[in-house]
Amino acid sequence: MNLEEVAKRAKVSTATVSRVLNNIDVVKNSTRSRVIKAVEELKYHPNLHARTLAGGKSKTLGMIVSNMENPFFFDVFKALEADAIAHGYEVVIANTDYSAEHLVDSVRLMIGRRVAGLAAIVSEMNPRLIDELADSKIPVVFYDVGTARRNISNIRVNYQRGIEKVVDYLHDLGHRRMAFVSHHAALGPINVRERSFVETVSRHAPGAEWKTAVDADGPEGGRQAVREILSSGFRPTAIICVNDFMALGVLRELREQGLRVPRDVSVTGFDNITLSEFCYPALTTVHIPRERIGHIAYETLLPEDGKSPFASRDIQIDPDFVLRESTGPARKA
């Protein structure tokens, strides 16, 4: 079922059918309706591959994320997609599950698909792979990885500042034994958060003891991390989590172990995902404007007409501290 069959049935050329389908308004009304009739009768659906191949331009955006299960990524996606759809684009997403291998495959796939733009919201990326993207000429926007270049823009959040706000706040409440729970990604912003934690503690909370634990991203990972910390004998009065998603599991495990939050232990998250407000107790966290990030990503990849087609940008975002119920004064020993 292709253009030709439709053309035959409507007794016109494929060129005319194509024009009708693309709303090019030079076609006579009577012809147009004949074509439309044929299209419907044959239940014809244009072949997207042929279309983008012939047209030379793709109407799809790509998005690569580390862990779609974590609502953080989904929220960014949702905003990006809304903008895309509003402008007649679609967005295909790829989930790497923090695997470098999957990431390579996903990037190659996106290039192969000749996407009109690519948003990579991943915590790390091999420099060689970044080069590959740079050479592809595809407009790219990274979230917190790599550096801006000709065809690559960058959105970054000041994690350092976010963690400082958290540590400062806890230190003021008297906390002197803290734990940091994070996940596997060895490089990139995650490590930035961990490093920030260590540095900030030694600078803003001198003399405090601390410990870090690492497990998979997600509630289950958070739970495991807490088990690891507690079974080591360390008894923190505050647990700082690399993100809210893991914090959910931390809360759960503390409850299981009979520790009250925040009376016995304070817990903080990061990101301010919707769930952080629905868990118990509601999480004190740091707000990352995910929706804004999604919109910026879109606007960066596909600027409104009038502006230059694609300009490499470097955008900084300063996160805000969000106080809820999972934190309180440190318990006296």
Partner DNA sequence: GGAATTGTTGCAATCGGTTGCAGCATTGCT
Partner DNA sequence: AGCAATGCTGCAACCGATTGCAACAATTCC
Task: Give the total of residues touching a second copy (CB under 8 A).
Answer: 46
Residue 186, binding choice from DNA, a second copy, none, Cβ under 5 to 8 Å by partner class: none
Long-range contacts of 96-105 (CB under 8 A, 24+ apart): 96/64, 96/65, 96/66, 96/67, 96/122, 97/66, 97/67, 98/66, 98/67, 98/123, 98/183, 98/184, 98/185, 98/217, 100/124, 100/126, 103/64, 103/129, 104/129
Candidate list 112, 233, 258, 306; residue touching a second copy; CB under 8 A: 112
**CA atoms 273, 277, 280, 284: torsion sign:** positive
Q: How far is the CB of 48 from a second copy (least distance, A)?
A: 4
CB atoms within 10 A of CB 194: 21
Is residue 307 a contact point for DNA (CB under 7 A)? Answer: no
With vertex at residue 200, the alpha carbon angle to CA 324 and CA 166, rounded to the nearest 5 degrees, is 5
Is residue 274 a contact point for a second copy (CB under 8 A)? Answer: yes
Report how far residue 313's alpha carbon sits from residue 329's, in angstroms, rounded to the nearest whole number.
42
Q: How far is the CB of 42 from a second copy (least distance, A)?
A: 10
**CA atoms 304, 308, 313, 317: torsion sign:** negative
Helices 14-21 and 29-42: angle between axes, nearest 10 degrees: 90
Residue 31, binding choice from DNA, a second copy, none, Cβ under 5 to 8 Å by partner class: DNA
Supply 40's token pair. Answer: 């419907």
Residue 18, binding choice from DNA, a second copy, none, Cβ under 5 to 8 Å by partner class: DNA
Report the site for DNA in 41-70 (rule: CB under 7 A). Answer: 44, 46-47, 50-51, 53-56
Residue 88, binding choice from DNA, a second copy, none, Cβ under 5 to 8 Å by partner class: none
Q: How far is the CB of 40 from DNA (least distance, A)?
A: 14
Q: What is the largest CA-CA distance in the chain?
A: 88
Is residue 48 a contact point for a second copy (CB under 8 A)? Answer: yes
Under 8 Å between Cβ of 319 and 287: yes
**Smaller CB separation from a second copy, 46 or 303:** 46
Candidate list 9, 21, 264, 277; residue touching DNA; CB under 7 A: 21
Report the site for a second copy in 176-215 (rule: CB under 8 A). Answer: none
Q: How far is the CB of 308 from DNA (least distance, A)?
A: 22
Residue 3, binding choice from a second copy, DNA, none, Cβ under 5 to 8 Å by partner class: DNA
- b/e 1-36 (16+ beta carbons within 10 angstroms → b): eebeebbebbebeeebbbbbbeeeeebeeebbebbe
Candidate list 69, 264, 291, 299; residue touching a second copy; CB under 8 A: 69
CA-to-CA dists, residue 223 to 246, 253, 273, angstroms: 8, 5, 18
Q: How far is the CB of 1 from DNA (least distance, A)?
A: 7
Contact range with a second copy by CB under 8 A, out of 39-47, 117-125, 180-188, 291-299: 39-47
Residue 212, binding choice from a second copy, DNA, none, Cβ under 5 to 8 Å by partner class: none
Q: How far is the CB of 43 from DNA (least distance, A)?
A: 12
Query: Which residues bind to DNA, rule: CB under 7 A?
Result: 1-4, 11-16, 18-19, 21-22, 26-28, 30-32, 44, 46-47, 50-51, 53-56
